[in-house]
Amino acid sequence: MSAPEFNAPASQWERIDLRGLPVPARPARVVDALAGLGEGQGLLVVTDNEPRGLTSRIQASRAHDLLVDVTRVAEDEWHVGLRPIAPATDAPSAESVLRRSAPFAEMPDGAIARLATAASMLTVRRGQVVVPENSEWPFVGVVFEGVVAISSGSGTPRNRIFYEVFPYEVFGETEFFDQARAAGRVVAISKVARILRVPREVLHAATRETPDLIASLGRVAAQRVRNLMHSLCAQATLPIIARIATVLLPYAMPDDGLAQAVAPLPHMTQAQIAAAAGTVKEVAARAIAELEDHGMLQREHGHIRYLDRQKLADLIREYS
């Protein structure tokens, strides 16, 4: 099946608006819409909830792959582009990884092949540093298995996680543009993380042939700025219990009641959750215990395994 470019004409996109629909009913609505797509069409989903849980549920329910492109366009509005693609039949190759990553997906075959030839793969374990802070790392990374986090301590023992990078998302786009040293520390937070490293100099050469690549990577950088502004605003205005709930909400599945959390949250430590909320472990631990007392989460062996999306969302809304 041929598929539309993300910047293709509106006639190649079916659009559905999930706002106003009960959250637990949303995955089935999207799956039905995907099943009804015509040749070469994609689906544009509009939602008022952070869509990571939604896209995780949809991908788990499908027999073949989706190219996913998420854009936050307002405080409570996300646009999710979903495009069916052929499933990978062999072990991931550099070319197949690039084809599943939205910034690279529409590049011409020859340009993709040249990037793939120059790229290399790296496998790391939980806690292993991929990129030290303030180091020279002349690549753009594409995660294709597991999750890494971008953090910074600014030279102090207190670490701050700014955002996570999930499969087929990129990191290093800021350094691609300003050619400076790594702005943050990149560390694996899943049991295993696999990364494709594309040399920046090869990417720069590719932009001369495919100028749209600059806009695609620029949009990644712009989305990161937008999300960081939202996160910093939450930290400045919300009490700690709501800040912890804000960190946890993207890992919540779109189900009624307590449901299994999206990976890698079930393996994250309280210190990591605290770093994402801009606080310390002891403060985060008290907030997590309070959220559990109110039935918003459930722990097993000290780790958060289940989340109640609706209760977390209601708590955040109460303090916003």
Distance CA 121, CA 320 (A): 42
10-85: CATH topology: Translation Initiation Factor IF3 (3.30.110)
Q: Where are the alpha helices (DSSP H) in the chain?
A: 26-35, 52-60, 94-99, 109-118, 173-178, 200-209, 212-237, 240-248, 270-277, 281-293, 309-319
Say which residues have a Cβ less than 8 Å from residue 136's Cβ, sequence separation at least 6.
181, 182
pLDDT for residue 297: 98
pTM of this structure: 0.90
Note every long-range contact of 1-4, with CB atoms under 8 Å and residues 24 or more positions apart, other chains counting: 1/39, 1/40, 1/84, 1/86, 2/39, 2/40, 3/40, 3/41, 3/42, 3/67, 3/83, 3/84, 3/85, 4/40, 4/41, 4/42, 4/83
Mean pLDDT computed over 265-276: 93
User: Domain residue spans in the chain?
Assistant: 10-85, 94-234, 238-319
What tens digit of pLDDT does each residue of 120-167 get? Answer: 999 999 999 999 999 999 999 999 999 999 998 655 556 789 999 999
Angle at 303 between CA 302 and CA 307, to 5 degrees: 125
- Give the sheet arrangement for strand 170-171, strand by strand: 120-125, 192-199, 139-145, 170-171
pLDDT band (50, 70, 90) for residue 9: low
Mean pLDDT computed over 222-229: 94
Mean pLDDT computed over 72-82: 93
pLDDT band (50, 70, 90) for residue 320: confident
Mean pLDDT computed over 97-125: 95
52-72 CB burial, b ≥16 within 10 A, e <16? bbbbbbbeeeeeebbbbbbbb
pLDDT above 90 as % of the chain: 78
pLDDT for residue 8: 55
User: In this structure, what token pair is assigned to residue 121?
Assistant: 């793969």
Residues in the chain: 320
Distance CA 38, CA 42 (A): 8
Task: Kindly give the interhelix angle for 240-248 and 270-277, rounded to the nearest 10 degrees.
Answer: 110
| DSSP string for 151-168 | EE-TTSS--EEEEEE-TT
Range of weakest confidence among 38-42, 136-140, 284-288: 38-42
Residue 240, burial from CB neighbour count under 10 angstroms (0-12, 13-18, 19+): middle
pLDDT for residue 1: 35
Domain 94-234 sits in CATH 2.60.120.10: yes
pLDDT for residue 152: 86
DSSP-derived 3-state class of residue 247: helix
Mean pLDDT computed over 34-51: 90
Nearest to 184 by CA among 159, 157, 150, 231: 150
pLDDT for residue 237: 92
Residue with the bigger pLDDT between 315 and 64: it is: 315
pLDDT for residue 157: 58
Mean pLDDT computed over 248-271: 94
* pLDDT exceeds 80 at position 64: no
State the amino acid at position 168 in one-letter form. Y
Q: Where are the alpha helices (DSSP H) in 142-211?
A: 173-178, 200-209
Distance CA 307, CA 297 (A): 4
pLDDT above 70 as % of the chain: 93
Residue with the bigger pLDDT between 2 and 298: it is: 298
238-319: CATH topology: Arc Repressor Mutant, subunit A (1.10.10)
* pLDDT exceeds 80 at position 212: yes
* pLDDT exceeds 50 at position 238: yes
Mean pLDDT computed over 292-297: 98
pLDDT for residue 5: 53
Residue 36 phi/psi, 5° resolution? -95, 5
Residue 231 phi/psi, 5° resolution? -65, -45
Residue with the bigger pLDDT between 158 and 198: it is: 198
In the predicted model, what is the mean pLDDT of the chain? 91
